[in-house]
Amino acid sequence: MSKSSVLKPAVIVDDRDGYVKYLGNHWKQSTAKSTFDHTLSSLDASDVSEGPTLSDCLNASSVIASDIALYGTLSGDLKLQYIADSGNQSTVSLSLPKNSTGPVTGVELLRLNASSSLTRRSLAVFPATGTLNVDYLTYTATSDTNITNRDIILDDRDPRLKYTGAWEKGTAQMPTGAGYGGTMSSTNQTESLMTVQFIGSSIRVYGILNQVEGELIVAVTLDDTTNYIPIYDDTQPVDSSSWTFNAPFWDLRMAAGPHTLSIEVLRLDSVVYTSSVDNIAITGGGDTTWTTSSDKGGTIGTAVGVVVGLFFGCMLFVIVYKQWRRARAVQNASASQSAPQMAAATAATPSIPARTRGAPERVPAYDPEAGLNNPPPPYTPKPGEEERRRRL
């Protein structure tokens, strides 16, 4: 069973994702309730004559990550053979919990802990005895991991998830399954909210359902637009011993960029969003500072803003200084010039037309690929502007 702990933001890979390779001809795929995306990929050791070998394994290779975890459904005693990072073959054995009589979902079957010397991780695993039911795997991204268009899972205890109102933090380890990380956050107050900011193109909220009587309606607000999602309408069969894991309360696609989601939910397990940036440090995860820029636009935009600010500040200083010099020159000349001469000099100086307020100019859309490597075209002075500058 999964240990109750706070898990770091991680990339989640479903068993049907092409990122995961299944060798051999004995793997079977099926649909299953309470699994992530409701799918399983299974290999029964008894289906392979003389037993499975590496030619019948699940293979995930060259993963740029600090650690890898494999999750699945435990249907009975299971003995796994695995090779991590091209090392020696190892064995791990798992058994059903004492209080479980049937399959248990959401079990952490295997974990490769973080390595200080490896940047690319690999895992090959197959069952020596029993049935290996693969639900999904996760890996913790590093600064070198490209997470563009990858799904990022946040545990309910992740510090990016902000809770307001009355919430109870508890374990999620039942006889039939476990929540992600073995935890859940629960409330029965309609005014209690969970809010999360993310930079992505889709988001899903997963919870844990207990099949009891009554209605259950979830209120979801995305960027100030609220939807009400019916989960139970009071016609469901009542069975308080029945639990559903990985229940999707909300699944929505949107334009890639920064978004804010708030939700009222009974038992929250995890949040999964599709990243639209390439680096986990830009997502605002953990203790990092939240930014609403996409890709590395925040860093580039800040640099460009500083340069532009300095440029206009210098220009303003030059203009003010020249106007001061001009005023001093006029004052010095007034002592030796007659009034007609001063009037003639003033008349010869063209006046600068006042700037009228009209419709504001449209600012071009921000382009993160522009900036210092793509400067604006050279400035072309307007008619008469050069003459006015020479007179200043």
pLDDT tens digits, 246-305: 998 888 899 999 999 999 888 999 999 999 999 988 865 433 333 333 333 443 344 334
What is the mean predicted confidence (pLDDT) over 130-159? Answer: 96
Predicted local confidence at residue 238, as pLDDT? 86
Strands (E), 117-224: 120-129, 131-139, 151-155, 162-164, 168-174, 177-186, 193-211, 215-222
> Tell me: the pLDDT tens digits for 354-370?
323 233 333 333 344 43
Higher pLDDT, 118 or 380: 118
Nearest to 293 by CA among 282, 307, 285: 282
Distance in angstroms (rounded) separating the CA atoms of residues 92 and 104: 18
pTM for the model stands at 0.71
* 143-147, 153-157, 304-308: least confident range: 304-308
Q: Do domains 7-145 and 147-293 have the same CATH topology?
A: yes
What is the mean predicted confidence (pLDDT) over 60-68? Answer: 93
Q: Which CATH superfamily is domain 7-145 in?
A: Galactose-binding domain-like (2.60.120.260)
- pLDDT band, very low/low/confident/very high, at 323 (cuts 50, 70, 90): low
Question: For the domain 147-293, what is the CATH code?
Answer: 2.60.120.260
Q: What percent of the chain has pLDDT over 90?
A: 52
Residue extents of the structural domains in the chain: 7-145, 147-293
What is the mean predicted confidence (pLDDT) over 319-323? Answer: 50
